[in-house]
Amino acid sequence: MKQARHCFISESGELQARWQEAFPQALGLRLADPAPAGAGPTLLWLRLPQGRPVAPLLAELRRRLGNLPCIVLSDLPDDDQALACFAAAARAYCNTHAAPAYLRQVAEVVAQGGLWIGESLMNRLVDATSRVEVKSPSESGNSWAALLSPREQEVARAIAEGASNKEIARGLGITERTVKLHVGAVLEKLGVRDRLQVALIVSGVRQSQSA
Amino acid sequence: MKQARHCFISESGELQARWQEAFPQALGLRLADPAPAGAGPTLLWLRLPQGRPVAPLLAELRRRLGNLPCIVLSDLPDDDQALACFAAAARAYCNTHAAPAYLRQVAEVVAQGGLWIGESLMNRLVDATSRVEVKSPSESGNSWAALLSPREQEVARAIAEGASNKEIARGLGITERTVKLHVGAVLEKLGVRDRLQVALIVSGVRQSQSA
DNA sequence: AGGCCCCCTGTACTTCGGTACAGTTATTTT
DNA sequence: AAAATAACTGTACCGAAGTACAGGGGGCCT
């Protein structure tokens, strides 16, 4: 892998001491500066100004400097801001005041096509997902799961991913015949006539027709 | 940071040579094995069996081994599978046959709360996002309609209601054969293999796979 | 012990979905 | 005038989906 050319972008254009420590040859730019002459940067670091929407900022950066991977640094990181950054195709989100070693690792990850989310947000995502899976049999509002046996729920979820009977069979280590049995049970219990409706119900688009 | 205890899970339970090279002390488990006695692992690597839905696999692993960070290895990586993995709260997705150094970096990233997405998927996400910003300030995410002719849109919407070809034909006053023609065109233009995916896309659950 | 539910499998059948041939008509674009 | 696009129809074929018979084993409850 080639050496990345780092470019730090902040309101004032100054380089934080730790940034310079992490990447001695990094370039510093102000938000309004034009693209630097010569060999362009290959990796952008954007220090987020306080209280501004991130999407337009990132969009403009891309327009001016090319569609480069961009790492967002926030003085006061919070999960919602992080999500906004990733929605705007940021590649990483971390604290402005992170240690140089940390910054270097983030850079390496991003340079190799990785995404740096940070622990707080990651935990939230994992929590959300596991909670859904754990508590969905009991309630979760739409109650389709409550009508189905555990095995049938697995089948229903696979259907919602678009899996064929054969794929589900391989996935669960059973025969296609048995999958058809479960599918049939799911159809009857949810009161629908085909798997497409099952997919819509599991995806939350429709409600089950059953009592 | 403490040393992570790695646990590789595959169908056969064997450790690939490069896994062992990357993590000499890693534990190998089969899919069906129970949790190992003693100090449990802190990081799971799951080698994905061919053609199986991932969500149930990951859910069951979490049930059995605890809610640990999980890295998914795929013999034939593709973007859709990767998305399914992240939807199931996987922390990383990469090629089974990746080099030891690569695996070690993935592990380090995950151990520090990062997410490893891989270049292919990342490029797609970045592309998608930048395209959205460029071409649809008005409507967002509903790009499926833009790809289809008016008639095809009608058919696509009917599909999302769960209508059969025969019903669509009666509804539009045309033959079933013609409906099939339109359905075929919709499938091709949206880049999906069956009407179920069309229903999910039109319902806003999925994005179109096409350029 | 009998009844109930869950999970699993097999054979055989019908219907539906999707595609591959092969066309027609009308409108628009180049 | 030719080419491209949209809409439409027909026959035919294959595989997937779903159903209808037929069973098997195990666990739980009264």
pLDDT of residue A199 exceeding 90, the answer is yes
Helical ranges in chain A per DSSP H: 17-22, 54-65, 79-87, 100-111, 119-135, 150-160, 165-172, 176-190, 195-202
Into how many domains does chain A fold?
2
Contact B191, B198 (CB under 8 A): no
CA distance, residue B38 to nearest chain A CA (Å)? 25
Structural domain boundaries enclosing A64:
6-119
CA gap A80, B176 in Å, rounded? 48
- A22 with A96, same domain? yes
pLDDT of residue A211 exceeding 50, the answer is no
Q: CB atoms < 10 A from the CB of A124, how many? A: 14
**Cross-chain Cβ contact A167/B53 below 8 Å:** yes
Is B195 near chain A, with CB under 8 Å?
Answer: yes
- A150 with A114, same domain? no
Q: Is residue A181 assigned to a domain?
A: yes
The percentage of residues in chain A with a pLDDT greater than 90, rounded to a whole number, is: 16
pLDDT at position A164: 92
Residue contacts between A and B (CB atoms, under 8 Å): 127
- A91 with A160, same domain? no
Q: Is residue B131 assigned to a domain?
A: no
Of the candidates B122, B147, B176, which is a domain's last residue? B122
Q: What is the pLDDT of residues B28-70, one digit of tens each?
A: 887 766 666 666 778 889 888 776 677 767 777 776 777 778 8
- A52 with A143, same domain? no
pLDDT at position B34: 65
Name the CA dihedral angle for B89, A127, B126, A42, rounded to a multiple of 10 degrees.
Answer: -100
CA gap A145, A167 in Å, rounded? 21
Q: Is residue B133 assigned to a domain?
A: no
Q: Is residue A165 assigned to a domain?
A: yes
Chain B residues with beta carbon closer than 8 angstroms to that of A89:
125-126, 129-130
pLDDT of residue A96 exceeding 80, the answer is yes
pLDDT at position B60: 74
- A150 with A184, same domain? yes
pLDDT of residue A179 exceeding 90, the answer is yes
CATH number of the domain where residue B155 is located: 1.10.10.10
CATH number of the domain where residue A95 is located: 3.40.50.2300
**Cross-chain Cβ contact B133/A55 below 8 Å:** yes
- A88 with A165, same domain? no
- B116 with B152, same domain? no
Contact B49, B74 (CB under 8 A): no
pLDDT at position A118: 66
Residue B16 to residues B13, B23, B27, Cα–Cα distance (Å)? 9, 11, 11
Q: Is residue B113 assigned to a domain?
A: yes
pLDDT of residue A135 exceeding 50, the answer is no
- B146 with B52, same domain? no
Which pLDDT band holds residue A1 (cuts at 50, 70, 90)?
Answer: very low
DSSP secondary structure of A113-136: T-BB--HHHHHHHHHHHHHHHHHT
- Read off the pLDDT of each residue in A53-78 and give the average, rounded to a whole number: 78
Mean per-residue pLDDT of chain A: 77
**Cross-chain Cβ contact A122/B114 below 8 Å:** yes
pLDDT at position B178: 93
Of the candidates A119, A149, A168, which is a domain's last residue? A119
Our measurement of CA B199 to C1' C13, in angstroms, reads 29
Chain A residues with beta carbon closer than 8 angstroms to that of B106:
114
- B91 with B145, same domain? no
Chain A residues with beta carbon closer than 8 angstroms to that of B199:
196, 199-200
CA gap A43, A107 in Å, rounded? 8
Q: Which residues of A19-31 are buried (b: 16+ CB within 10 A; e: fewer)?
A: beebbeebbbbeb
pLDDT at position A100: 78
A:174-193 Cβ neighbours of strand C under 7 Å: 174-175, 177-178, 181-182
* Amino acid making up residue A69: P
pLDDT at position A26: 82
pLDDT in tens, chain B (211 residues): 456 788 888 877 666 777 888 888 888 887 766 666 666 778 889 888 776 677 767 777 776 777 778 899 887 777 667 777 876 778 888 888 877 777 887 887 787 666 787 666 655 554 444 443 333 333 345 567 778 888 888 899 999 988 999 888 988 888 889 999 999 999 988 888 899 999 988 887 776 655 4
- A102 with A177, same domain? no
What element of type H or E holds B103? Answer: helix B100-111
Q: Is residue B210 assigned to a domain?
A: no
Q: Is residue B127 assigned to a domain?
A: no
Of B62, B129, B196, the CB nearest to A196: B196
Which pLDDT band holds residue A165 (cuts at 50, 70, 90)?
Answer: very high
- CB of residue B165 closer than 7 A to nucleic acid strand C? yes
Our measurement of CA B73 to C1' C3, in angstroms, reads 47
Of the candidates B122, B155, B189, which is a domain's last residue? B122
CA gap B211, B200 in Å, rounded? 18
Residue A110 to residues A11, A30, A44, A86, B129, Cα–Cα distance (Å)? 23, 22, 10, 13, 17
Residue written as token pair 């079933």: B176
Is B135 near chain A, with CB under 8 Å?
Answer: no
Q: Is residue A128 assigned to a domain?
A: no
Strand D nucleotides, any atom under 7 Å from protein beta carbons: they are: 5-12, 16-20
- A113 with A153, same domain? no
More confident residue, A202 or A133: A202
- A91 with A157, same domain? no
Give residue A38's region: left, alpha or beta (phi > 0; psi -120 to 50): left
